[in-house]
Amino acid sequence: MTTAAAPPSRPGPRPTPTGRGHRAAPRAPFAPAPAVALVLIAVGALGVLALWWSGTPAVVGAAGWLTGAGRITGLLAGYAAPVLILLMARLPPLERRVGADRLARWHSFGGRWLVAAVSVHVLTVVWGYALTDGRGLLGEGVEVVLHYPEMIKATLGTLLLLGTGAVSARAARRRLPYETWYHLHLATYLAVALAFSHQLATGADLGGGPGRAAWYALYFGTAALLGWYRIARPWLLDRRHRLQVAEVRPEGPGVVSLFLTGHRLDELRAEPGQFFRLQFQAPGLRWAANPYSLSAPPHPRFLRFTVKDLGGHSAAVAGLRPGTRVRAEGPYGAFTGRRQRQRRVLLLGAGVGITPLRALFETLPGELTLVQRARRPEDVLFRAELADVARRRGAVVHELLGTREEVGDLGAALARLVPDLSGQEVYLCGPEALTGEAVRALRAAGVRRGRIHHENFSF
């Protein structure tokens, strides 16, 4: 019998066949974690506005209104900066209950809002001061930067933040390799650090009591969590599990499966559908940690990831040699069986998005249908593995091949393959364009929004 996810050739004895050695994760009640997180963020923002309100007895004249607007936007920007960092600090409760892709969308939206708030803050404060002092905008700007405390640091921080916002804009982001964007994005930490001292020196609304103490707690608490989950914890996990490459196996054009072995892998408590950020200790790869999904259920002796050539980092993975050390952060993501509430499940994926669905197809209970979208037959991944799993589980696999023009309306194509489409619970993963099209098609077909779980790889 063919094993659906064959083990690497180096580690020794073969694991038990698929379907007997893996169990689906226990299903805890799916709490409305996204809503709770948003409520907490909103409560914090209201607290920040209360600081301004309590410290502002009256607003008089155009200069007063402009300066007041600058103070409000400055406070909100100062609050938003550490919140945005926390969203991407890889905190396990957020990553597992909210989901990495949703956190990335919140971070992207909040980042645009932060850039706008900082821009309004700078403009309104300088404008308000200019009206008060009887100067022009340019002269007042020079005066503020050169003669107010901590303003040179604040100016540098603002320029870094605006520059990071520019390279993170969608048009620029698509033109940059992931590794370049990742390293440029690290400038945000320096920008926030530079702005923090400016807030303490000139932020009259913070006062000297609970407001200032809360500000210190927010910033230093964020720094502590960031240091633990982004630096200390990955280092400790690396020392404990000692992951290394066991085998790199070709799967298709520009696609390879990467098998990692190590110690005590069961203690990672990874679930099908989750991903790790892998940092390979090899020339040119050791300074970037890229996200890769598990493409088979986690095994006590190995983890399998399937990687498509989408850039410099992923292309270099195909050339890794057995024995290469790997530093892994994770597991992350809420795209797991914990979301399942219906017995009939449709798994819809395309491109490298099929990888987490491949692991879920093996472990989710119920009546499963998997549809893989691809342009050409040679682009289909895991054909033999999926057929083997489907045969033993009594599940169904379809391949939806062709260009957009050849396939036509995606909703109609899915309805032909899955007659009871409106009654399915859907796990959806793939490129952003496919995800958006599929969500619209599924909603039009009558699938409730709460039954569509999707994850993409644009973060």
Provide DSSP, 184-214. HHTHHHHHHHHHHHHHHHH-GGG-SSHHHHH
Q: 98 and 34 in contact (C-beta within 8 Å)?
A: yes
Pair type for strands 290-293 and 275-280: antiparallel
Q: 253 and 351 in contact (C-beta within 8 Å)?
A: no
For residue 224, which of 216, 212, 236, 214 has the smallest C-alpha distance? 216
pLDDT-derived band of residue 270, with 50, 70 and 90 as boundaries?
Answer: very high
Q: What is the pLDDT of residues 64-103, one digit of tens each?
A: 889 888 888 988 998 999 999 999 888 888 877 787 778 8
Check residue 313 and give its pLDDT.
Answer: 61
Q: What is the pLDDT of residues 92-102, one digit of tens each?
A: 888 777 877 78
Length of the chain measured in residues: 459
Q: What angle do CA 402, 408, 410 make, to 5 degrees?
A: 95
- Using DSSP's 3-state secondary structure scheme, residue 373 falls into strand
Average pLDDT over residues 406-433: 90
Lowest mean pLDDT among 15-19, 295-299, 347-351: 15-19
Q: Phi/psi zone of residue 266: left (φ > 0), alpha (ψ -120 to 50 degrees), beta?
A: alpha
Distance CA 160, CA 155 (A): 9
Distance CA 379, CA 454 (A): 21
Which two three-digit tokens encode residue 371?
A: 């549809």
Q: What is the pTM of this model?
A: 0.75
Residue 22 has pLDDT above 50, yes or no: no
Residue 251 has pLDDT above 90, yes or no: no
Check residue 311 and give its pLDDT.
Answer: 60
Residue 44 has pLDDT above 90, yes or no: yes
- Using DSSP's 3-state secondary structure scheme, residue 249 falls into strand
The amino acid at 387 = A
More confidently predicted of 377 and 207: 377
Check residue 201 and give its pLDDT.
Answer: 67
Average pLDDT over residues 268-287: 86
For residue 335, which of 288, 279, 294, 388 has the smallest C-alpha distance? 294
pLDDT-derived band of residue 454, with 50, 70 and 90 as boundaries?
Answer: confident
pLDDT-derived band of residue 174, with 50, 70 and 90 as boundaries?
Answer: low
Q: 382 and 257 in contact (C-beta within 8 Å)?
A: no
Cα distances from 410 to residues 289, 368, 379, in angstroms, run 34, 19, 19
Average pLDDT over residues 26-36: 60
Q: What angle do CA 309, 354, 108 make, to 5 degrees?
A: 75
More confidently predicted of 389 and 95: 389
The amino acid at 337 = G
Check residue 30 and give its pLDDT.
Answer: 45
Residue 15 has pLDDT above 70, yes or no: no
Question: Torsion over CA of 213, 218, 224 and 227, rounded to 10 degrees?
Answer: -150
More confidently predicted of 278 and 2: 278
For residue 437, which of 459, 456, 418 has the smallest C-alpha distance? 456
Check residue 16 and give its pLDDT.
Answer: 35
Q: 372 and 397 in contact (C-beta within 8 Å)?
A: yes
Question: Torsion over CA of 417, 422, 426 and 428, rounded to 10 degrees?
Answer: 70
Residue 18 has pLDDT above 60, yes or no: no
Looking at the DSSP assignment, which residues form a beta bridge with residue 256? 250, 307
Burial category of 73 from C-beta neighbours within 10 Å (exposed 0-12, middle 13-18, buried 19 and up): buried
Distance CA 290, CA 312 (A): 11
pLDDT-derived band of residue 427, with 50, 70 and 90 as boundaries?
Answer: very high
